[in-house]
Amino acid sequence: MLNASPKKTNNLRKWHALFNLTVFSACFYASMEWLFFATKPSSLSILSTFDSVKVLFVTAGTVALISIALLVCLSLPAFLIRNSNWQPRLLAIGYVVPAFLLSITALIMLDNFTYTVFKFGIVLTEGFLRVVYALGFLLFFWWMLRSTRRAAWARGKFASYLTLGLLAVSTIGILTTRLSSIRYSNNLDTGSASSSASHPNIIILGSDGLSARYLSAYGAEAETTPFLHKLTQTSLVAENAFPNASSTTGSTTSVLTGKESIITKVYRYPDVLSGGDSFEHLPGILRQRGYKTVEIGTPSYVDARKLNLLEGFDIVNSQSLRAPAFEALQTLLGNSPSTYFIQTISERASERLLHIFFIREMRNPLAEVEDPAARISDEQRVDQIFDLLDQADRPVFIFVHLMDTHGPNFSFQKQLFSSGVSADEDWDPRRYQDALLSFDGHIKKVYEHLAETDQLDNTILVIYTDHGLRYAIHERTPLIIHFPGNARAGTRQNNVQNIDIPPTLLDYLGIPAPAWMSGRSFLNGEPPADREILSTTTGSPKEIAPPFHQINIMQVIVCQKWYRLNVRKNTFGSGTIKGHTSPCDENLLPPDEFVHQQILEYLEKYGYDISSLQ
């Protein structure tokens, strides 16, 4: 009996130390991930200092609470079994939690360092190298397991006070985030659901980097798009259409939301939607009305999950968005930066662990964009469209982004224009023409499949692009909409833009376009000839910095004239759009000084400091 009390006291101290170690490990893991993201272009880097630090503490607290819950589950036998000899042995199982947290932190930090400095990381490992990483992780985990058990400092009062302090601050952050999410959800107007029985399928079929001047459907001499040229005879064709962003992520986001990038603050990957913008989009409107919504794109760059586009798509890049853990997190924290950040770092940890232990291959988003051999083919993407149409039990909305025409390395099925041209030649126009011909073939296959399955007269087919060749935003791009029964066929000569696509589709469906959409329908007539079209280009990741963050150039197009302000160099210029088919009288075009001032007002309106431009 005399020895029982000291043993019990010692076990209690060990459990107390284990609790402190778990909290410290969780906070250290969250801090290292936060530091990595906050110091590079990311969803954190554009937040205010206060909001960014708040994300740190909310993330640390959430990870700590989850870890504590796991610790209690693992340590439960130590509390239930009264045998004083077995209690410390069972309690030792709990050290797995801080040891694992520290091990995964070390793995992530090592991967961050090697990829940043040497451009080599876990995603590039194969075979034996993956075994080396796995063995290294297990050895480090074993070392951490031994080290944490000997960490006497964790039993001290200072450690306890620090633990309580961290948990208190984190809990306050979690509670304020929760209260904000409740107020936000109460104010969010999600609209009313309705039956989709009478609605047609909608397929938005885009391909990367299409410039109208290379398409025979738009007058190019080379027969690059023979089927598309035929399709224009029975479709609504915008002769002078323009994108709203130079990057794929920014542009596809504008098509899905009907908003310019300056409103959503999504200019390029890794920007994300936040607040109400996460819920304000075309797929969300259609999904509420019974559509099955699917995105077929490129991981990360055309990816609703990475974009934080919520309650819009049922399936994104072959993966269902039904994730119980994330839904529980969203219920707790709402659509906050912390929710997105916690989801991001948990995915980073899991995908690396699964890769090094040969459970699931880690995908390399950059390779899937730049290397045609590393990505799924456009033929496979088209097959996915067929499967969705054939298996659908309700109308489907399919947003597709094809990649054969993505430069500088183009891919194609048939080499016609570029015979004898080396595949090593970047941005070769003849290989680009073959890629266009391939794209044209994919459109033809989709059209013929719709016809063969009697779905053509129940499907809207939209052909568009994210930007022009070499990311141009001051060139005409294709925009063609084929409606059921060849309805609304004709041309629009005045300027239209990508953000006009959602309101035009809603107009056809008889659904009022919400006030937050910046675009306008061109279904029933010409847009105003002198309308202003706003678009942006972005700099390289090394150039991203306040006060303009991702923005490099702000551009306004009026009729056949473009006006551009480079916000980094503070230079302004203007020019004429080549091939514009409906030019205005030069005397009606606004002077450079007027548009320059308007661009400055745009920037200031949306929260940018323009003092360096005046």
User: SS3 of 49, please?
Assistant: helix
- In a 13 Å sphere around the CA of 547, the CA atoms on its Cβ side amount to 13
With 50 as the cut, is the pLDDT of residue 112 above it?
Answer: yes
Burial 328-360 (b: 16+ CB within 10 A, else e): ebbebbbbbbbbbbbbbbbebbebbbebbeeee
**Complete DSSP assignment for 590-613:** PPHHHHHHHHHHHHHHTT---GGG
Pair of tokens at residue 528: 């105003």
Q: What percent of the chain has pLDDT over 90?
A: 69
Position 190 scores a pLDDT of 47
**Complete DSSP assignment for 432-487:** HHHHHHHHHHHHHHHHHHHHHTT-GGGEEEEEEESS-GGG-SSS-B--EEEPGGGT
With 90 as the cut, is the pLDDT of residue 102 above it?
Answer: yes
Q: Please, which residues have CB within 8 angstroms of residue 562's CB and are 6 or more apart in sequence?
A: 474, 555, 556, 574, 575, 576, 577
- Give pLDDT tens digits for 123-146: 999 999 999 999 999 999 999 999
Position 192 scores a pLDDT of 52
| Domains in the chain: ranges and CATH | 4-187 (no CATH), 201-320+366-528 (3.40.720.10), 539-613 (no CATH)
- Give pLDDT tens digits for 438-468: 999 999 999 999 999 999 999 999 999 999 9
Q: Please, which residues have CB within 8 angstroms of residue 477's CB and are 6 or more apart in sequence?
A: 210, 211, 212, 241, 242, 243, 464, 465, 467, 468
- In a 13 Å sphere around the CA of 171, the CA atoms on its Cβ side amount to 8
Residues 296, 403 contacting (CB under 8 angstroms): no
Stronger pLDDT, 156 or 103, i.e. the higher one: 103
Question: What span, in angstroms and rounded, lies between the C-alpha atoms of 190 and 213?
Answer: 41
Position 182 scores a pLDDT of 58
Backbone angles phi, psi at 531, to 5 degrees: -65, 150
With 60 as the cut, is the pLDDT of residue 196 above it?
Answer: no
User: What predicted TM-score, i.e. pTM, was given to this entire model?
Assistant: 0.88
With 50 as the cut, is the pLDDT of residue 224 above it?
Answer: yes
Q: What percent of the chain has pLDDT over 70?
A: 92
Position 260 scores a pLDDT of 96
Residues 537, 246 contacting (CB under 8 angstroms): yes
| Confidence at 195, pLDDT banded by 50, 70, 90 | low
3-state per-residue secondary structure call for 54-98? HHHHHHHHHHHHHHHHHHHHHHHHHHHCCCCCCHHHHHHHHHHHH
Position 363 scores a pLDDT of 83
- Give pLDDT tens digits for 323-364: 677 778 877 788 888 988 999 999 999 999 999 999 998 888
E strands along 509-605, which residues?
532-538, 551-558, 561-566, 571-576
Position 5 scores a pLDDT of 56
Nearest of 535, 112, 559, 509 to residue 349 by alpha carbon: 112
Residues 459, 200 contacting (CB under 8 angstroms): yes
CB atoms near residue 436 (< 10 Å): 29
Q: Return the H-helix or E-strand segment holding 320.
A: strand 319-320
With 60 as the cut, is the pLDDT of residue 218 above it?
Answer: yes
Report how far apart, in Å, the C-alpha atoms of 93 and of each of 25, 111, 135, 143, 427 are. 16, 28, 21, 15, 58
CA gyration radius, the chain = 28
| Confidence at 277, pLDDT banded by 50, 70, 90 | very high
Mean pLDDT of the chain: 90
Position 108 scores a pLDDT of 96
